Amino acid sequence: MAQQVRALLVDDDPLLLALLSAFLASRGYEVEEASDGEQALQRLAGGGFNLVVTDRHMPRMDGLALCRAIRARKDESYVYCIMLTASGDEQALQVAMEAGVDDFLAKPLRPADLGARLNAAERVLALEAGLAARNQELSEAYAKLSRDLDLARALQRAQLPAPQSFGKLQFEGWFEASSFVGGDLYDYFPLGDRLVAFYLADISGHGVAAAMMAVAAQHQLRAAAQQVVRSIAPDAELGDAVLEILNRYNTRFLETNETGLYLTLVFGLADRARGLVALVEAGHPPVLHAAPGASEFTVIGEGSVPVGILPDPQWQARTFTLAPGSRLVLHSDGITDCAGHDGTFFGEQRLRDLLVQQRGSSPAQTCAAVGGALHGWHAGSFEDDVTLLVVEAR
């Protein structure tokens, strides 16, 4: 017997209890006795039983009421119930099964019948024990995975840059993953004494695969930007440099990506000395721009091809002056596509209105306001990663 059976015998006939107890003990069961249903429940409260053999008709609490009470309990393991009955009435058996009885044993008892019923009980209890063990293994594995994902989430957030200023350019970002880890990212970093690179990317899909690709994208974009800036002339067109960075990254992405994922991206270079910015939008929601003294935000960029789709996507760079007092806002579509309780999207217009209200606030306050508005709009975890990057010229 692979599964240890601890049996509780319930009957108001002492002789029958003695006979059953001897038979079950001979099979290696641990056996205890009770004279009625109420006494049986008191014994069951201590736990550890996985088999109950009970008579149907008993004083105080009969077998049917006992089985109903057993099924109402929150036992850690399954309790197999066999009912002793002198009735073979089909309706009575149906009532007993609805009460939670697993099997029946007719009176008067015959050892062969009892042995067959116990063999069936042992098979069910062994299966249940195996399932419980597998569930425990799964629970432990899930707990370990949760701990690992919590660590991965902390590491991913640590990869994001802290709020920072480069000369008169101030950068502030906000990111929240839809699950433990996400596929959105933003970054900003200096390239020599004059240039600053910044971008916001959105990997297709969610979860671990997207997060791993996001980490790779961060390293590859930084490497491509540094290589290009080292090789270009000081008077090179800023737009040409941005295009070269993205084309190099796109080529590298197509050569190494075997996941079927792709990403949308807005990548920019800012020349602090000249106050110029060049942007390339690769399939990403357009950048929002507010000029000095203006509260309204206008769109920079339009639809194009994401990274990882075509070897020659024919992107275009847009160069403009970022004068003191102006602001750029980059965002992922997780913000505008965030659904409210009635299914309505947050939408670009609502985002623009909120940005207008925050025009006089700091970038940090603006990020906090957008995050608060989205959490008020959508209850619970977001269905997509949400990311915002604010760039302000002072």
Is 367's pLDDT higher than 90? yes
What does the pLDDT look like over 168-219, one tens digit per residue? 999 999 999 887 667 889 999 999 989 999 999 999 877 777 888 888 899 9
**Count of CB atoms within 10 A of residue 112's CB?**
8
C-alpha dihedral sign at 121, 127, 133, 139: negative
Listed by start position, the domains of the chain span 6-135, 161-393
CATH superfamily of 6-135: Response regulator (3.40.50.2300)
Residues 44-73 have a mean pLDDT of 92
- Rounded Cα distance between 225 and 208, Å, is 26
Q: Which fold has domain 161-393?
A: Phosphatase 2c; domain 1 (3.60.40)
Among 115, 102, 110, 113, residue whose Cα is nearest residue 52: 102
CB-CB contact of 197 with 225 (8 Å)? yes
Highest mean pLDDT among 4-18, 90-104, 171-185 belongs to 4-18
More confident call, 344 vs 144: 344
pLDDT of residue 139: 85
Which DSSP letter does residue 384 get?
S
52-61: average pLDDT = 92
pLDDT reading at 99 higher than 80:
yes
Q: What is the mean pLDDT of the chain?
A: 90
3-state secondary structure (DSSP) of residue 196:
strand
Q: What Å distances lie between residue 11 and 32, 45, 59, 62, 83, CA to CA?
A: 11, 18, 9, 9, 10
Q: Compute the CA torsion angle 167, 244, 304, 170 (nearest 10 deg).
A: -10
Q: Are 335 and 388 in contact (CB under 8 A)?
A: yes
Q: What is the pLDDT of residue 111?
A: 87
Cα gap 317→315, rounded to integer Å: 7
Q: What is the pLDDT of residue 154?
A: 72
How far, CA to CA in Å, does 189 sit from each of 115, 162, 222, 241, 327?
A: 77, 11, 8, 16, 18
Euclidean distance between CA atoms 24 and 118, whole angstroms: 9
% of residues, the chain, pLDDT over 90: 66
Task: State if pTM tops 0.85.
Answer: no
